[in-house]
Amino acid sequence: MFDMTALELSAAIKEKKFSVSEVVSAYIDAIEKKDKQLNAFITVSKEKALLRAKEIQSLIESGDSISPLAGVPIALKDNISTMGIETTCASKMLQGYTPVFNATVVEKLESAGMIVIGKTNMDEFAMGVSGETSIFSAALNPWDVSHVSGGSSGGSAAAAAADLAPLSLGSDTGGSIRLPCSFCGVTGIKPSYGAVSRHGLVAHASSLDQIGPIGRNINDCAALLSIISGQDGRDGTCVIEKPFKFDTAFHEKLDGVKIGIPRNYFDSVTYEDVKHAVLAAADEFKAAGASLEEFEMPFMDNALSVYNIISCAEASSNLSKFDGLKYGYRSADAKTLSEVYRLSRSEGFGFDVKKKIMFGSFVLSSEYYNSYFKKALQARALIKDAYNKLFERFDIILSPVTPVKAFLLGEYKSDPEKTRKADVFTAPVNLAGLPAVSLPCGFDKQGLPIGFQLIGKAFYDDKLVETARLYQNRTDHHTKTGSAS
């Protein structure tokens, strides 16, 4: 069953080739055997998943098809609220916290007959690019365990790449789905902002965060996105009226489609094999009939600074509620209310999170608000307007996911300048609220995966999926699995 796509697996269950319990048990067994090496999971919900499997089996046997992914196990990033299952955000601050409600996306997954088998490792509170800020240590890369799987959704990408889950959910604030997908050789979709409810997602930066699917191929990811997308009255920023419905027809040609290639992005790529693999992907689109044109991406030198100011400011505000009083970590040494606040936050948050909180508080202070945060918001508007003008010329923008390759363990700390630039190509997409897809397109000289991204107009996620499907139908990179897995 591990060589099946998620859609094929659900079809096989409905055809009685496997029972739901057999499928869930097989994946839990795989986690128990492999994950000691990879560290992709924080929590495995074995008993709840097997009980849920019996319920879904009964529904299927009664003739209720539920959805094209009914009976399929799924792993969730550990910042997505799950009732009765610990949700830690990979932080000491939330160790032992068990939510009393499900995130909207979890409700939709359960309505579709999918089964949550566990919660995946991540950077603490989704702040990082390597996964190494997790208090549980980093999720490792299934292709080479001396390398990280990426951040912040590294556990979700590693689980999909190592066949520990057919599908997973991650969250993307500045590239946190696309970066680990590129590092692990899997496919991921960062949906348009407002297409998927954020209710129940522990917020990093509210105006940037978006939940999205991760899987081995674009068809599985699209099927999952069609389940979790759609309006939600509990999230005022979720503005899409209906869930996406993706065309399943196979299109062999892209005649008339215009694809923009940001020249300055490729000039900034650190490794030649990354540049070569992404340009080879562009050639596939050209061979399929698309017209390619180079251009200079505006504000490239400023976008990352704008992202850092806004994301840290919003993180500072969002994380202020973790104060040691209502829930979460409380210092045992605190004797006064002031000490509860100070010691609980000092001991409960890791270094990187505290650094972002401090910087965010600085740019929001009355003295520096106009100089930093207000200007960042103005620059964000300019970046969004620049994308709008680009999409008057192009249907799709194609670029590398990142100028770097999967980091070695420890490289995040030893070379912070290199890792700081890891999301220079992805963060602008979040600032503009656009959809993007990360796809595997080759391998470096060490055999590590390389990915590229397609960027589209807001709420034209269907066009991105259609374009991505054509590429995967012409190539086989998405069928490869890492030797370490």
* Closest listed residue to residue 119, CA positions, set 45, 201, 51, 48: 45
Order of strands, edge to edge, in the sheet holding 167-172? Answer: 41-44, 115-120, 73-77, 167-172, 210-215, 187-190, 436-443, 449-455, 396-400, 258-262, 291-295
Sign of CA dihedral 469, 470, 474, 475: negative
Q: What's the DSSP call for residue 401? A: S
The 10 Å Cβ neighbour count of residue 388 is 13
Of 45, 134, 149, 152, the active-site residue reads: 152
**291 is annotated as an active-site residue:** no
In angstroms, the CA 338 to CA 80 distance is 30
User: For strand 291-295 and strand 258-262, is the pairing parallel, antiparallel, or unpaired?
Assistant: parallel
Q: Helix, strand, or coil here: 269?
A: coil
- What are 116's two structure tokens? 């949550």
Cα dihedral 465, 470, 471, 476 sign: positive
Per the annotation, the verdict on 374 as an active-site residue is no
Q: What DSSP string describes 383-436?
A: HHHHHHHHHHH-SEEEEES-SS-PPBTTHHHH-HHHHHTTTTTTHHHHHHT--E
DSSP string covering 286-310, please? HHTT-EEEEEPPTTHHHHHHHHHHH
Closest of 296, 165, 259 to residue 453, by C-alpha: 259
Instruction: For residue 274, give both structure tokens.
Output: 């990354």
Is 320 part of the annotated catalytic residue set?
no
For 396, the token pair is 């799709």
Note whether 207 and 430 are within 8 A (CB): no
The span from the CA of 173 to the CA of 152, in Å, is: 9
Which residue is associated with the tokens 């964000």?
380
The CA-atom distances, in angstroms, between 188 and each of 61, 108, 127, 182, 191 are 32, 19, 19, 9, 9
Sign (positive or negative) of CA dihedral 419, 424, 429, 433: positive
Active-site choice (34, 77, 275, 356): 77
Out of 176, 182, 226, 485, pick the active-site residue. Answer: 176
Residue 330 is given by DSSP the state: -
The first and second tokens of residue 83, run together, are 């009732």
Q: Catalytic site residues?
A: 77, 152, 176
